Amino acid sequence: MPSVFIKTYGCQMNERDSEAVAAQLVAKGYAIAKSEANADVVLLNTCSVRDLAEQKAINKMRNLIGTARKDKPGQIVGFMGCMAQSRGQELIDKLPDVDLVLGTQKFHRAAEYIDELLAGTRKQIVDVAAEAKSEATIREHLLNGSAKTSVSAFVSIMQGCNQYCTFCIVPYTRGEERSRTIEDIVAECRELVGRGVREITLLGQIVTSYGKKEKRDAWQAALGAENSPLITHHSSLVSPFVQLLDAVHAIDGLERIRFTSPHPKGYGDDLVEAYARLPKLCESAHIPLQSGSDRLLKLMHRGYTREKFLGIVKKLRAAKPGIGITTDIIVGFPGETEEDFEQTLSLCREVQFDNAYIFKYSPRRDTPAAEMPDQVPQEIREERNHRLLDLVNEIAARKYDTFIGQQVQILVEGPSKKNAARYTGRTRCNRIVLFDGSARHQGQLMDVKIERTGSFTLYGDPAVVNL
Ligand code: 5AD
């Protein structure tokens, strides 16, 4: 039985795609290898969001080819995902020993192509074509992998993004927005819950735009049709995304719902109200800010202002006090002045994010920002990165400390990776809690009292609560 090893770079969507490819291969009789060294097939699921991520995967592939050709002659190596999509044949021109380049709309063809490569009926395969309905193909799960995946699962609800932020390569790697149907998604969630999953994270590049394109298309079709009875019944203030949340919420046995990544423009009152209305929707939100300067937000084509962003945070905190709010920020976007950067610092002070992921701007091919004037020198990007990181970490640490002495509900995922005597779970606001637990705790919702904090971890004591 041939074995496969998949190494994943980048975001949770990539993790999910890798899981679906692995599940597909397992269903065809492949084994999952523990490491690349003894695998018959090694796939790198790539990320293109910054140059560094691309370089890492390319270096890894160079390395693999060096060792594979020496120690394991028949080994098949391939790129899949975002970089495979945006570079295609170019990757083979650069690294002629690569056997497979599989784009983001072709994950479901992985097993078939690998069979052909292993059998020697084809020597090299590049497939990065668009494929209708590919958004509905990320469906299979491998719940017997790690302990965590049997408690908490990711479900892909849509593919692509039409926002075209000027810095971002995603519309070119993931294509136009395409959403699965609510029925299809709910069926997958139900099946997962039937297999013991208690928490589901709905995934997409811009989940708050879920179903918008399809809704527009349906409207247009209805308007075009004569005597259409649909029109009068179609006006709804609830966005398709919130309709999906409602439908998933209704699944018996599911305890928690999360989603990522949203866009700030998607936080209408319907979504804010959903937080107050749906008890399974966890009070945590990862809302990418990118910059605190209105001038930059405009250049980035983000479609909101600083004030609008602050308004969203205020409404969410009013609906759910204690909601965990995290964000993404880019420093050194072209034209960013010291003044613009200080606007970002001041917004972070004002919002007090629970955590923020900071990215140094990285020019991406074919994106408008890469051609913009006033590219910020590397040293200034570095310096701003450090200053913002200091501020964000200081705020995050202070917020962590406020948990000491509090009782929180956690969903227990399984043993901690570092220390198997410790078990790990997450609060509803998405913080990791470690405690002395055992296998019987896995998959349980339990209350613990927070005793102390570590770096980005809370330490809890279940006994204190149970007394
Ligand atoms: N340079 C740096 N960071 C980027 N991101 C997206 N594109 C770029 C880029 N060209 C960041 C954004 C996004 C996160 C996933 O990656 O902050 O939210």
Share of the chain above pLDDT 70, in %: 95
Ligand 1 atom with the shortest distance to the CA of 367: 10
Contact 261, 433 (CB under 8 A): no
Positive/negative CA dihedral, 312, 314, 318, 323? positive
Residue 263 neighbours by CB under 8 Å, 6+ apart = 163, 206, 208, 209, 288, 303
Whole-number pLDDT of residue 145: 54
HSE (CB half, 13 Å, CA atoms) of 143? Answer: 22
* Ligand 1 site, residue 167, Cβ cutoff 6 A: yes
Cα(363) to centroid(ligand 1), Å: 10
* Tokens coding 309: 């962003």
Q: Are 96 and 65 in contact (CB under 8 A)?
A: no
As to burial, measured by CB atoms within 10 angstroms (0-12 exposed, 13-18 middle, 19+ buried), residue 278 is middle
- Ligand 1 center from residue 290 Cα (angstroms): 8
pTM as predicted: 0.95
Q: What is the mean pLDDT of the chain?
A: 94
pLDDT digits (tens, 9 = 90+) for 99-112: 999 999 999 999 99
Tokens for 272?
């804010």
- Does the C-beta of 328 come closer than 6 Å to ligand 1? yes
Determine if residue 140 is left, alpha or beta; phi over 0 gives left, psi from -120 to 50 gives alpha, anything else beta. Answer: beta
pLDDT at 149: 55
Residue 420: both structure tokens together? 């198997």
Does any ligand 1 atom lie closer than 6 A to the CB of residue 302?
Answer: no
Q: Which of 151, 241, 205 is nearest to 11 (CA)?
A: 205
Q: Is residue 286 in contact with ligand 1, taking CB distance under 6 Å? A: no
Q: Is 168 in the pocket of ligand 1 (CB under 6 A)?
A: yes
Give me the pLDDT at residue 233, please. Answer: 43
Ligand 1 pocket test, candidate residues 11, 47, 48, 49, most atoms within 8 A of CB: 49
CA 20 to each of CA 31, 50, 132, 145: distance values in angstroms, whole numbers, following the listed order: 14, 24, 18, 12
309 lines ligand 1 (CB under 6 A): no
- Which tens digit of pLDDT belongs to each residue from 175-229? 999 999 999 999 999 999 999 999 999 999 999 999 999 988 888 888 876 555 5
Closest ligand 1 atom to Cα of 167: 10
Q: Is the pLDDT of residue 232 over 60?
A: no
Place of tokens 């606001």: 429
Ligand 1 centroid–CA 355 distance in Å is: 16
pLDDT tens sequence across 340-387: 999 999 999 999 999 999 999 999 999 999 999 999 999 999 999 999
Q: Is the CB of 359 under 6 A from ligand 1?
A: yes
Query: pLDDT tens, 6-45?
Result: 999 999 999 999 999 999 999 999 999 999 988 999 999 9
d(CA 314, CA 307): 10
152-175 b/e with 16+ CB inside 10 Å = b? Answer: bbbbbbbbbbebebbbbbbbbbbb
Mean predicted confidence (pLDDT) in 120-148? 88
Q: What is the pLDDT of residues 327-348, one digit of tens each?
A: 999 999 999 999 999 999 999 9
Contact 45, 78 (CB under 8 A): no
Contact 100, 117 (CB under 8 A): yes
How confident is the model at residue 153, as a pLDDT? 96
Segment 458-467 shows an average pLDDT of: 74
